[in-house]
Amino acid sequence: MDSGGFYYDMDLDDRKLSEEDLVSLEKKMNELAKTNSAYIRKEMPKAEAVQYFTEKGDEYKLDLLSNLNDGEITFYTQGRFTDLCRGPHIPNTGLIKAIKLTSIAGAYWKGDEKNKMLTRVYGITFPTQKELEEYLLMLEEAKKRDHRKLGKELGIFTMDDDVGPGLPLWLPNGTIIIEELEKLAKETEEDAGYKRVVTPHIAKESMYITSGHLPYYQDSMYPPMELEGQKYYLKAMNCPHHHKIFAAEPKSYKDLPLRLAEYGTCYRYEQSGELFGLMRVRCLHMNDAHIYCTKEQFAQEFKAVNDMYLKYFKIFGIEKYIMRLSLHDPEKLGQKYVDEPELWIETEELVRNVMIDAKIPFVEVKGEGAFYGPKIDVQIWSAIGREFTLATNQVDFAQGRRFKLEFTTPDNNTDIPLIIHRAPLGTHERFIGFLLEHYAGKFPVWLSPLQVKVLPISDKFMDYAKVVASKLKKSGVRVEVDDRNEKIGKKIRDNELHRVPYMLVIGEKEMNESKVSVRRQGKGDLGMKDLDEFINSINEEIRNRTNE
């Protein structure tokens, strides 16, 4: 279960669930909810849990138990139903006043296409009918804003079986958006003192052993290639390459902080069942950077990264967000996390103090840290209230020692830098997917692939329409002329559907007076304007990256 509801996977063999089945299930759920039946939690020893599901003949729960240990296993019972579940649950079913089973889907067991396809039922419950109705309205709006649907309609990206699942192809319109986001990031990072680097897409196994990504991260990496007796991996992260750049030349305390930035291409092997449009992909372009600093510089550098997030939120009109301080789990040191308990406590306190001093709201979550240190995970909400994970701001106390990174101190000794991993815009893929849904495809002018469409009323005004387009293009505006032999009403409707921010209608009066009639997406007719006046105003809008 998550904030978007719950789902349950079932092995129904060859039986198919229908919409009528969902209606029947909803009816039964409503009956059970009215019984005020309590949810009873019970911790279970592994041997007893295995015996229980062996007697039930439940191969799936036995599979889940194989990766759990004593102390990690809980059962929940509600009425006559008992199941393996981590919880937590509400106290009793009486708190459920509104139920909706929203959809049926197929899902591979554990998200692995090599496993059996199960039937997945999605649903949602609320304590009031009003909240359910509001949610269903939001769901309808979300369908209209689905980034996969909009991405196809607006020519942003495509997927192709011959290329492979999770490997998006960016079409010209999508490439423009990518370039605008890169331009924004590069300008921002240049102002903040970052230096740009470029690294290869593959590296030898030895580097990932040094970094610790093997074995901690191996399941998310593509299998190795063997060449000349060496194993090479596709790059799943940029950080080890940046550490090598830091180590390439001797460093002094005067060189710190050193901020290395790259829009690096990474490859991660997501399970087929987890792939989802641009949100979960196997090829990703990351707005990545690594900051190497002293312990004394850490607070200012970490705060500056958080300030960068806040700047981007303002540009894109992101009003609701939360910073999540992800901590380690002391019981999993040496397994999921680097076994350095004192350094974990110290760096977590460093991050906590920065957030408190900067008065940035945050919550703490145990067991979600990176394997090499604590991090801030950034959760944002779109215009219709859908939650997205944007990016991270991570602290790394382990990699510097692993790569033998050092700098000369003022007293001529050596020390190891603290490392901050940060990606304020996340990846092109996830962020553009978010923006498509956030803006419903109606991008602000600076980000829109096509910013102006010139619409001549008839062929008589085509020459002037081309003059208008030429002047706009020379000023840096992305513009096209709609030269189709169609009535002006149809041209306007078609370009509204394509979400072009500005349309300039050209007729006899406009041509004779060197003016344009301006229409704005979502606002309609703005009246006639002098051409130079319009060019100045749209360029100011683009320069300021106005969020409209």
- Average pLDDT estimate for 159-166: 95
463: Cβ contacts below 8 Å, ≥ 6 apart? none
Rounded CA separation 101/137 (Å): 15
Say whether 215 sits in a helix, a strand or coil.
helix
28: Cβ contacts below 8 Å, ≥ 6 apart? none
pLDDT of 392 reads 81
Rounded CA separation 287/185 (Å): 8
Rounded CA separation 367/330 (Å): 8
How far does the chain reach from its first CA to its final CA, in angstroms? 35
Say whether 548 sits in a helix, a strand or coil.
coil
Domain 205-439 maps to which CATH number in 3.40.50.720, 3.30.930.10, 3.40.50.1000, 3.30.70.1230? 3.30.930.10
Percent of the chain at pLDDT exceeding 70: 98
Q: What is the pLDDT of residues 428-460, one digit of tens each?
A: 999 999 999 999 999 999 999 999 999 999 999
Dihedral (Cα; 343, 345, 351, 356), 10-degree rounding: -160
* Ranges of each domain in the chain: 6-151, 205-439, 445-543
Tokens of 255: 């060189």
pLDDT of 339 reads 67
DSSP state, residue 383: T
- The DSSP element (H or E) to which 470 belongs, if any, is helix 462-474
- Average pLDDT estimate for 197-209: 96
DSSP 45-93: -HHHHHHHHHHHT-HHHHHHHTT--TTS-EEEEETTEEEE------SBG
pLDDT of 336 reads 67
DSSP 414-428: EEPPEEEEE-TT-BH
Q: What is the pLDDT of residues 355-364, one digit of tens each?
A: 888 888 888 8
Higher pLDDT, 252 or 264: 252
Asked whether the beta carbons of 165 and 159 are under 8 A apart, the reply is: yes
**Cα angle 517-521-524, degrees, rounded to a multiple of 5:** 55
- Average pLDDT estimate for 473-480: 97
Q: What is the pLDDT of residues 495-537, one digit of tens each?
A: 999 999 999 999 999 999 999 999 999 899 999 999 999 999 9
Q: What is the pLDDT of residues 122-158, one digit of tens each?
A: 999 999 999 999 888 888 888 889 999 999 999 999 9
Residue 1: pLDDT above 50?
A: no
The stretches of 317-419 forming alpha helices (DSSP H) are: 341-357, 399-402
Q: What is the mean pLDDT of the chain?
A: 91
Rounded CA separation 312/78 (Å): 46
**Confidence label for 366 from pLDDT (cuts 50, 70 and 90):** confident
**Cα angle 517-518-520, degrees, rounded to a multiple of 5:** 155
* Strands 321-326, 452-456: pairing kind: unpaired
How distant, in Å, are the alpha carbons of 63, 332, 518, 541 from that of 527?
A: 67, 65, 6, 18
- Average pLDDT estimate for 170-180: 97
The one-letter code for the residue type at 506 is I
Q: Which residues of 255-286 are buried (b: 16+ CB within 10 A; e: fewer)?
A: ebbbbbbbbbbbbbebbebebebbbbbbbbbb
If you count them, how many residues does the chain have?
Answer: 548
Q: What is the CATH number of domain 445-543?
A: 3.40.50.800
Rounded CA separation 230/242 (Å): 21
**Confidence label for 4 from pLDDT (cuts 50, 70 and 90):** low
Looking at 112-116, 123-127, 297-301, which range is the least confident one? 112-116
Highest mean pLDDT among 105-119, 318-332, 342-356, 412-426: 412-426
Residue 216: pLDDT above 80?
A: no
pTM of the shown model = 0.81
- Average pLDDT estimate for 48-52: 94
Residue 322: pLDDT above 60?
A: yes
pLDDT of 2 reads 46
278: Cβ contacts below 8 Å, ≥ 6 apart? 147, 148, 151, 157, 168, 429, 430, 432, 433
Highest mean pLDDT among 163-172, 207-216, 382-391, 394-403: 163-172
Asked whether the beta carbons of 453 and 490 are under 8 A apart, the reply is: no
Q: What is the pLDDT of residues 237-249, one digit of tens each?
A: 999 999 999 999 9
Other residues' Cβ atoms within 10 Å of the Cβ of residue 26: 14
Three-state secondary structure string covering 306-338: HHHHHHHHHHHCCCCEEEEEECCCHHHECCCEC
Tell me if the domain spanning 6-151 has CATH number 3.40.1190.20.
no
Name the residue with tokens 């901050």: 420
Rounded CA separation 156/442 (Å): 13
**Strand-pair partners of 83:** 76
Nearest-Å Rg of the Cα atoms of the chain is 28
